[in-house]
Amino acid sequence: MNKKITEILANFNFFNSWEEKYEYLIELGRELPALQQKYKIDNYLIRGCQSKVWLCCEYKNKKLYFYADSDAMITKGIVALIIKLYSGLSAKELMTEDFGVFSKIGLKQHLSMTRVNGLNMMLETIKKYGLNYYKHE
């Protein structure tokens, strides 16, 4: 399992209340570098989210870097989590990543949201970027 996931899970286990978990998530969102305004357009919008999520990818030195933002604080925190996990990997590395891992680490158990807002759609988009570059390398 991705080392970063173990780290995140440990952080979640450390918190006792939902307040602390959400504070952590919102803090992660705050630390996320701002997405340039020019990327906040429909082309980069992830469908299926209750709040807006823009996600774009930069391919540099054979690595994929993801940049994203959301208009909702909690969603932005989730976006930040995803970027923490998957940004900066090569297409090949991305192909070996386990994208089902979010349900395995029990994010849904930790955050009693009825559905993790558009999470699967974000992961799908990242996977597609990875696959695309992998095919072209």
Phi–psi pair at 96, nearest 5 degrees = -95, -5
Among residues 32, 102, 110, 117, the one that binds other proteins under rule CB under 8 A: 117
Q: Which of residues 49-78 bind other proteins (CB under 8 A)?
A: 50-52, 71-75
User: Does 37 sit near other proteins (CB under 8 A)?
Assistant: no
CB of 127 to other proteins, least distance (A): 24
Q: Which stretch binds other proteins (CB under 8 A): 2-10, 34-42, 45-53, 87-95?
A: 45-53
Q: 12, 15, 22, 59: which one contacts other proteins (CB under 8 A)?
A: 22
Rule CB under 8 A: which of 76-115 touch other proteins?
112-114
Active site residue 57: no
**Cα angle at 69 between 112 and 63, to 5 degrees?**
105
Cβ-Cβ contacts under 8 Å for 110 (sequence gap 6 or more): 12, 21
Ranges assigned E (strand) in 5-117: 53-60, 63-70, 89-90
Torsion from C-alpha of 89, 92, 98, 100, nearest 10 degrees: 90
Q: Enumerate long-range contacts of 6-11, CB under 8 Å, 24 or more apart.
A: 8/81, 8/84, 8/85, 8/105, 9/105, 9/106
- Closer residue to other proteins in complex, CB, 72/134: 72
Footprint of other proteins on this chain (CB under 8 A)?
18-19, 22-23, 50-52, 71-75, 112-114, 117
List, by residue number, the catalytic residues: 49
